[in-house]
Structure 1
Amino acid sequence: MISTEAAGGDVQEASDAPRIPSSALNRTILVVIIGTVMSVLDMTIVNIAMRRLSEAFGAPLETIQWTATAYTLALAAVIPTTAWVMARIGAKRAYLTALILFTLGSLLAACAWDAPSLIAFRVVQGLGGGLLVPVGMGMAMAAADRERFGRTMALLGLPILVGPVAGPVLGGWLLDAASWQWIFLVNLPVGAVALALAAKLLRPDAPRGTVPAPQLDVPGLLMLSPGLALLLYGLARGGERGDFSTPGALLPALAGATLVAGFLRRALTTRHPLLDLRLLNDRTFAFGIGTLALFTCGYFGSMLLGPVYWQQARGWSATSTGLLGVPVGLAVGTTMQIAARRVDKVSPRRLIRAGIAVGALGMALTGLLVGVENVPAWQVVCATVVMGVGSGMVLLPTTTTASRDLPKDRMPAASTAVNINSQVCASVGTALISVVLGSAGADPSGFRTAYLVAAGLLALALVPAMRLPGRRD
């Protein structure tokens, strides 16, 4: 009998739950992968279309960038409700609702007539996208037993391999061969297929009325969702301007942080919190979240540096810049597939520590190389590939290790916590690196400083990673 021990010494029995057949698990994974691929491709495609959208609507680039910001804010607002929505209407219904919202938002965005309408329709997309990934992950995590958890998480990581590689290429081709509308219309056939498969293949939800409806923590929702949105908005504005002291950045960030702090206090005292922070009583989950927080901050925070470096400091075209990102995307995705499967068989602590060390080394090498005038491009790309290999050894394996031994009924809450952690820490990292780059200057020495700061954040993830399990029971 397999058991796991939390910090308080409580023993959870893991073998009491019935084993879900492999066929049902595989169907769930297939549906989730298709939906996640659509979401990841959309984000990568829209990111490279900003300048074209600015020209199409005759709007400043600063205004068009709100198409990305509004999407992110919608994600932040809806992700905290994931666990409640799944419990209230069922996982399958929640996933179908997310697919409908995302696909409808894509259609509306393609029909936008000006920048404000496009931004509004991106909010609709974001509401669907904010449910799509955590609901899908929660379903798959609940369906997989401990022995199949690493394989399941590895398969769920396939969109991370496809998106960064195919997104820029597909987006560039659609913009050149067709029109900007097609960067959204391309989601419609994928969304239709995902809806049909989800309706047919996912396990039916329990009939309504057979399970007591959970209470919605309305005060918690009114604190956490606006709090996250305001915090991310303030961080984004501060990062864009390189200054967090301006009222437009400082006031929203402080208001958001205050609301989030109020939510944390409430979540620890109320009987039915919106987000179950008691998950952190599990030592493995707590240290896994800590590892992911620091690593995500440095890894995703550094993502803005490559495009700016190649286009601004080196004068390369957007197409060439996109192609230079393909090797690191392949490195991350391929390594992630191998590592997420291996974490079922080897010491998670050793694997993840090694990945952090390799990732920090690759990031530091990238920083040292970009600080050299006219360094050969292949050397910089090789350094980023090393960083990508390390990242692939950390991201999904840490999520797998943190969540694998939790009871099945807590998987939706765990998925919600992981996704909130990723959104917030990625935004914090992006804002921090933006400020560092703005202060140091967008020249070789400035990029070197920014990359080295990101490498330091990755290295700090070693501290909580040291407390992860050293072996499988």
Structure 2
Amino acid sequence: MVQTGEDDLVEYGYRRVLITITAILCTLLEIVDTTIVNVALTNMRGSLGATLNDVAWVITAYAIANVIVIPMTSWLSQQFGRRNYFVTSIIIFTIASFLCGNADNIWELVTFRFIQGLGGGALLVTAQTIITESYPVAKRGMAQAIYGMGVIVGPTLGPPLGGYLVDNFSWPYIFYINIPLGIIATVLALTFVKSPKYGEKLKSNQVDWLGIFLLTAFIGSLQYVLEHGQQDDWFNNKTIILLSTITVFGLVLFIWRELTYKYPIVNLGVLKDGNLRIGTVMCFILGFGLYGSTLIIPIYTQTILGWTATDAGLLLIPGSITTAFMMPIVGKLLQRGVPQSYMVGLGFLIFFFFTYIMHNSMTPSTGVEHLYWGLILRGIGLGLLFVPITTLSLSTLKGKDIGEGAAFTGMMRQLGGSFGIAIITTFITRFSQEHRVNLVSHLDTTRLEVQERVLMLQKGFMSKGFTANESLKKAYQVIDYSVMKQSAVLSYMDIFLYLGIMFLCCIPIIFLIKKGKNKINPADAMH
């Protein structure tokens, strides 16, 4: 049964269940693919004969395509019809996945990953609107909770799933796994998803081609700078300087174009809404914390503790299950009228406690039991942040502004993740160098403790058949390795400390939130 009138997109019974499954499946397809390749990069380098810099483009190309297409989803849906656009995006994503698995060289793979990203970016925000509009007004918080499960759990599922497929099969299977899921999603979307009624389509001479070009230029350049800044030594590199200049001028010209053109590709006027502005900032911070911590924990466990990729990925799963468990509870609380601002404030506070626990637990020999409860707290914090931030962002919007607002929140979450990863990797390197210098300054070879340690290591190597000089050299190498390991641990501790301070500083932002309707008519969303 389908209601008529303003709720004509609301579904009931099995149809709503199947639409929800379709949207969640597409959300997971898109988000799992942002992290699943991380654990397969080494294998890709070997089989495709690529350098580390080349293979990094497998991640960069996907991220750039994602962030370019997300702001345009509302406009593209109106041009082609939401169902047509959604189904086409699934098909593009699925075909590109097949082509990625069959790539013969690294640049073929990078090209197909870019195409996959164009299809995938559309799935994220469109799936959110489809779920939202399928539920009646009173259950909108629950709809966001269901969507949020896919967004939060997705980045965590990527590494263990990728690790398992690479360890037991080969790297192309991380792309092939999308094919049957994509086919199922296509059939379900064609059968059950409906499009809202739109106005007239734009003629080709009305399309904001300049806006599309400027958006692509500034977002693409920004994403490249963030992904490659650290390894290319930031502003000591001519390419980074050039692309940073394009980012700044491209952004300024894009804003001017969108505010003055009659048919803009992105409606910036929607940002006049105060709650949406606050929500986009919070989505940025949420992306920073979600993707940043998803990056740093596997790096720490693999490089410092010596875990396998699969084990490192599995560590994150209990926290993800906690988030999935929290989502419907948060949805119920929103339905009962609990203010989103209270939940957001509590979520930021819990995230601070998570970073505090991680800061205190990190050593060169930390066990699972020391990290477990911190990651459970992270799961609770994410559950309290995602749905309330999304609903408060859209709580004072009406009509098609809701869909355009959702595109902004999705883009800011992705950009927050990119900034988080770029900043964290930069600071890990810099903090490690600082701590190494400080630790080495305390390694005075005239001190008795240092001499005893060197002598003990030297005797150990001599007992294995090495000469005295070789053994002494190896003893110093062991001490140097220990210093490097300890300085890396200290840098991770610093990162968690500063992340915690950042989350604490976010709590006062909740006092800027205006009380909105809290329940938006989901049939109003227009992309």
- Structure 1 length-normalised TM: 0.89
Equivalent of 1:218 in 201, 209, 221? 209
Given the alignment, which residue of 27, 32, 44 partners 1:53?
44
Q: 2:508 aligns with which of 448, 463, 467?
A: 463
Partner of 1:95: 86
Distance change >3 Å, CA 92–CA 472, structure 1 → 2: closer
SS in 1 for 2:410: helix
* Residues 243 and 341 of structure 1: CA distance in aligned 2, closer, same or farther (over 3 Å): farther
Letter in 2 for 1:257: V
Is residue 410 of structure 2 the alignment partner of residue 422 of structure 1?
no
Distance 1:191 1:267, change over 3 A: same
**What amino acid sits opposite 1:212 in the alignment?**
E
Question: 2:11 is aligned with what amino acid?
Answer: S
Over residues 171-216 of structure 1, what are the superposed CA-to-partner deviations in whole Å (9 max), with x where a residue is unaligned? 233223322221111111111111111111112565xxx8311443
| Greater displacement, 18-27 / 99-108 | 18-27
From 159, 180, 190, the counterpart of 2:181: 190
Contact preservation (8 Å) 2:9, 2:133: no
CA deviation profile, 1:294-325 (whole Å, cap 9, x unmatched) = 33223322332112211222222222212222
Q: CA deviation at 1:270?
A: 3.3
| 1:447 partner SS | helix
- Find the counterpart in structure 2 of residue 236 from structure 1: 227
Change in Cα spacing, 1:172 to 1:303, as seen in structure 2 (3 Å) is closer
Gap change, CA 1:253 and 1:337, over 3 Å in 2:
farther
The answer to whether the Cα contact below 8 Å between 1:172 and 1:319 also exists between their aligned partners in 2 is yes
Equivalent of 1:120, from 111, 121, 131?
111
Deviation at 1:439, TM superposition (A): 0.7
Shift, 1:134, TM fit: 1.5
> For structure 2, which runs of at least 5 residues remain unmatched after alignment?
433-486, 519-527
Cα distance between partner residues in 1 of 2:156 and 2:498: 26
Pair 1:362 & 2:354 matched? yes
Aligned AA (2:160): V
Per mean C-alpha deviation after superposition, the further-off stretch among 234-243 and 18-27 is 18-27
Structure 1, unaligned runs of 5 or more: 1-15
Question: Which residue of the partner structure matches residue 32 of structure 2?
Answer: 41
Counterpart position of 2:311: 320
What is the letter of the counterpart of residue 31 of structure 2?
V
Which deviates the most, 240-249 or 194-203?
240-249
Residues 384/401 of structure 1: CA separation in 2 closer, same or farther (3 Å cut): same
Map of 1:4 onto structure 2: none
**Against the structure 1 CA distance between its residues 230 and 429, is the aligned structure 2 distance closer, same or farther, given a 3 Å change threshold?**
same
Per-residue deviation, 1:409: 1.8
Q: Which moved more, 1:184-193 or 1:433-442?
A: 433-442
Note the C-alpha offset of 1:273: 2.2
RMSD: 2.4
Deviations 1:411-439 (A, max 9, x none): 32122211211122211121111111111
Q: Which amino acid aligns with 1:169?
A: P
Once residues 100 and 153 of structure 2 are traced to their aligned partners in structure 1, the CA distance between those partners, rounded to angstroms, is: 23
Q: 1: distance between equivalents of 2:216 and 2:503?
A: 28
Give the 3 Å change call, closer, same or farther, for CA 250–459 of structure 1 in structure 2: farther
2:343 corresponds to 1:351: yes
Aligned pair in 2 of structure 1 residues 79, 241: CA closer, same or farther (>3 Å)?
same
Is structure 2 residue 464 aligned with structure 1 residue 453?
no
The structure-2 alpha-carbon separation of the partners of 1:198 and 1:42, relative to structure 1 and needing over 3 Å to count, comes to: same
Is 2:54 the counterpart of 1:63? yes
Q: Which amino acid aligns with 2:498?
A: V
Note if contact 1:237-1:248 (Cα within 8 Å) is conserved in structure 2: no
Using the alignment, how far apart are the partners of 1:337 and 1:58 within structure 2? 46
Superposition deviation, residue 36 in structure 1: 1.4
Q: Is the 8 A contact 1:297 1:457 kept in 2?
A: no
The 5 A counterparts of 1:173-188 are: 173-188=164-179
% same residue: 25
Deviation at 1:469, TM superposition (A): 4.6
Offset from partner CA, 1:261-289 (integer Å, 9 cap, x none): 22123333333322222222222222222
What's the secondary structure of 2:400's corresponding residue?
helix
Q: Structure 1's 94 and 471: CA in aligned 2 closer, same or farther, altered over 3 A?
A: closer
For residue 19 of structure 1, report the CA deviation from its aligned partner.
Answer: 5.7
Aligned residues: 455
1:163–1:422: structure 2 CA closer, same or farther, 3 Å change rule?
Answer: closer
How far apart are the structure 2 equivalents of 1:19 and 1:463?
Answer: 40
Secondary structure of residue in 2 paired with 1:315:
coil
